[in-house]
Amino acid sequence: MKQSRVRLYVDHPLALGQSVPVSQTQAHYLFAVMRLTPGDVILVFNGRDGEFPAEIKQAGKRRGLLECQAQSRPLVMPPDLWLLFAPIKKARTAFIVEKAAEMGAAKIMPVRTDFTNSERLRRDRLQAHALEAAEQCGATYVPEVTDLVKLDQLLTDWPEDRQIMFCDETLAGAAQTLADNSSQKWAILIGPEGGFSKPEHTRLRAMKQAHAVSLGPRILRADTAAIAALTLWQTTLGDWA
Ligand code: SAH
């Protein structure tokens, strides 16, 4: 028997003594790629019940069975932070989703802005990236990746009590940064390569929930901006403090 470093997301209830079937893809990974055998112990989580060591009970070519031991870590929710970003090229969009999950965003929302030009979005693929990121970074929670929504529509229905950290490239170089704020609910908004349109900019500047911030004196690419913004938010208002 060995304690493996493998950490797997499973879409199944977890509790002490609970049997958990593994999918065909997971069976392939666990038994063919990682060469694990019955008696070996891995870690599993489902985004709801925390993390559990689980012993391999059956290892087949296409299926397998695990059994949960005592919970190793409780569910830890990230701060109530959404990341809104305009999708860019496929690989960079996937990168943003992966990093947002690692950095502790609670929800990841691709938005269509006036200057967004991206191919069709594969929500399921992006969700899988968030899941893999959670598996490898030790998170017990997996952020939801939503379908592409129009920024315009989103702002029309924007909740009264959710603040927006509006990353405004026109402020590059200004000393405007994130001020302390007691609100618990936040969203970070990152624009596309072309930046925000004039009407979007005007509208955002007029919203009382929006806080325009600069991310320093250089214009960052959207993927860099997303990580910088998440870092700034987490250190100022989030769970790094
Ligand atoms: N084409 C635009 C830059 C867009 S950068 C221009 O040249 O002005 C993509 C997005 O990253 C921006 O919409 C903004 O949300 C964010 N961003 C990049 N650099 C930034 C900075 N220095 N300050 C604030 N936001 C920034």
H or E stretch covering 231: helix 222-236
Q: Give the per-residue pLDDT at 159.
A: 97
Query: Does residue 204 register a pLDDT over 90?
Result: yes
Q: Give the per-residue pLDDT at 230.
A: 98
- Ligand 1 centroid to Cα of residue 106, in Å, is 23
Dihedral angle, C-alpha 23, 29, 35, 36, nearest 10 °: -40
The C-alpha atoms of residue 65 and residue 85 are separated, in whole angstroms, by 39
Query: Does residue 48 register a pLDDT over 90?
Result: yes
- Ligand 1 centroid to Cα of residue 151, in Å, is 16
The C-alpha atoms of residue 107 and residue 85 are separated, in whole angstroms, by 11
pLDDT over 90 percentage in the chain: 90
190 neighbors 225 (Cβ within 8 angstroms): yes
- How large is the average pLDDT for residues 207-230? 97
Residue with CA nearest ligand 1 atom 13: 191
Residue with CA nearest ligand 1 atom 11: 222
Mean pLDDT of all residues belonging to the chain? 95
Q: Give the per-residue pLDDT at 117.
A: 83
Pocket of ligand 1 (CB under 6 A): 167-169, 171-172, 190-191, 193-196, 214-216, 218-220, 222, 225
Q: Which of 168, 191, 162 has its CA nearest to residue 79?
A: 162
- Ligand 1 centroid to Cα of residue 70, in Å, is 47
Among 169, 189, 233, say which to mutate for ligand 1: greatest number of ligand atoms within 8 Å of CB: 169
Domains in the chain: ranges and CATH:
3-68 (2.40.240.20), 81-236 (3.40.1280.10)
Query: Does residue 241 register a pLDDT over 80?
Result: no
Which atom belonging to ligand 1 lies closest to the Cα atom of 189?
A: 15
H or E stretch covering 190: strand 186-190
Query: Does residue 165 register a pLDDT over 80?
Result: yes
Tens of pLDDT, residue by residue over 111-150, are: 999 999 876 899 999 999 999 999 999 999 999 999 999 9
Residue 152 class from Cβ within 10 Å (0-12 exposed, 13-18 middle, 19+ buried)? Answer: middle
Tens of pLDDT, residue by residue over 51-103, are: 999 999 999 999 999 999 999 999 999 999 999 999 999 999 999 999 999 99
pTM (2 d.p.): 0.94
- How large is the average pLDDT for residues 171-183? 84
Q: Give the per-residue pLDDT at 181.
A: 79
Q: Give the per-residue pLDDT at 205.
A: 96
